[in-house]
A and B are shown apart, each in its own frame.
Chain A
């Protein structure tokens, strides 16, 4: 589903954020991406979203080489990927409901269908009662959950999440992770960046560990989703 082939990323300032990263995430697989702050987790996810471009190497998503993707295809490509951003990326002049409805609105869903899906997504993250509120009036954890609802509302093939539980208390964090596992069980491929090691080791999924831009560890926990290390 997602394949990194010897990918390096050097930012314009000269900082080497990723060095020769090689891994493959199978269709329907769930994996965590961990590493210390500044290790390059967000950079790796941004490369998949085409928010940044690779300096070296190639990324394939669903068999398509991202560096060859024409500019006008990018929006349609992004629609198939749900993303929870580390910095939330919400619209602060729209209420919770409208924020979550945005991807559906962009895709042109009929209103009743969109409303139904938005409510379902809000219900899953426990924000149904706050749908009329503006994001700015909500707590950090609640804002994060708006981002999660928005990421899953159009049932993407792939879900990327950057510190989705960073602002949540342990109980809520575990709940959100359980929600992610449910999505994974209906076939959504997942890549979740997190440095909450105690939480993610408990969950028994594959863990990719980055250290100053290098992939230093690729640990598989369950036999069902195991891939040979460095496998293509």
Chain B
């Protein structure tokens, strides 16, 4: 080895070490911006992939938002569930009002409301439109009732309260409309399970889509990869732009999913509000929310990166000079 070369060699390695960190980031930044430019260079291929990812991510996010709305709704309906106590015919209005007052003293009761047989008949004719039927009868057949709102929103506690109140001597029969709330909750649990499964399947779909797009990109740049490997590019160096591309696809796809979801929410918000108002007047329609949006973007980006990684692992090492 000649003396002159040794000197230059030493100088070089010193310089490289000093600039190494700065240069590492420079290198990453450059690759990141290069692969971004590359995406912009083939807009149609990129858009297709992004659209498919967006739709694949839209489905689970829509399910997620629907679920969170239905959950909130079922909670608020459950809270609003009422116990109706039908009273014996022979009770007087004074007795009924006294009982009603007493019930209101209980810790587990929020409100009580007495409905006299006359009021009941009136409500019946208003809501059923069968007022003539009542009028045709000599005597009002409807009993008086006390409507009790439980303090607890728990279905079991409400059930226990209702059973206890049914024992009162003035009470003829009791009605508790809990069953359909329970059914709704069971149904929601089922949907939740199903949507978890669906999310996994769709996550796989995203992996495949990105993987396939990256595979095509690798094929298209085969000659370039050979050259880079010939001048000493490692597998991970060659892989980096493809990993960035995968992450960009995932990010763009999840942004698209967010936009589509917002449009969807906006489109259904009117009718949905009208519907929900029937059950709970001050119910607020829930959107994806900030943390879930960030989560969706992270998941999308992560899936894109992972799909690219899998593809790169499979296809890149086959390309050797």
A: residues with CB less than 8 A from B are: 27-28, 49, 51, 72, 75-76, 78-79, 83, 85, 89-91, 93, 102-103, 105-111, 113, 150, 155, 157, 186-188
Contacts and interface: CB of A to CB of B under 8 A. Distances in A.
Contacts of B4: 186-187
Given A155-B12, A187-B5, A75 B232 contact: yes
Interface in B1-46: 1-2, 4-6, 8-9, 12, 15-16, 18-20, 22-24, 26-27, 30
A125 B30 CA distance: 27
- Interface range for B: 20 to 34
Given A79-B231, A106-B232, A186-B5, 8 more contacts: A72-B234, A75-B237, A76-B234, A78-B230, A89-B226, A106-B237, A108-B23, A155-B12
Contacts of A108: 16, 20, 23-24, 27
- Interface core residue of B4, B27, B231, B321 (most chain A CB under 10 Å): B231
Contacts of B8: 155, 186
B233 interface: yes
A78 B5 contact: no
13 contacts: A28-B2, A72-B234, A75-B234, A83-B230, A89-B226, A91-B227, A93-B224, A102-B228, A108-B23, A108-B27, A111-B23, A150-B231, A187-B2
Contact of A27 (B1, B224, B321): B1
Nearest to A77: B232
B229 interface: yes
A49 B27 CA distance: 26
Contacts of A83: 230-231
Contacts of B231: 78-79, 83, 102-103, 106, 150
B1 A110 contact: no
A interface secondary structure, majority: loop
Nearest to A105: B27
A110 B228 contact: no
Contacts of A186: 2, 4-5, 8
Interface string B196-227: 00000000000000000000000000001011
A187 B6 CA distance: 9
Contacts of B6: 187
A103 B93 CA distance: 97
Contacts of A102: 227-228, 231
A177 B17 CA distance: 33
Contacts of A85: 230
A150 B228 CA distance: 12
Interface string B94-124: 0000000000000000000000000000000
Interface in B229-262: 229-235, 237
A75 B229 contact: yes
Given A75-B229, A75-B233, A103-B231, A109 B5 contact: no
A49 B232 contact: no
Contact of B321 (A51, A91, A155): A51
B313 to A, nearest CB: 14
A113 B321 CA distance: 28
A75 B237 CA distance: 10
Contacts of A109: 16, 19, 23
- Which 4 pairs, one residue from A and one from B, show the smallest C-beta to C-beta distance? A110-B19, A187-B5, A187-B2, A79-B232
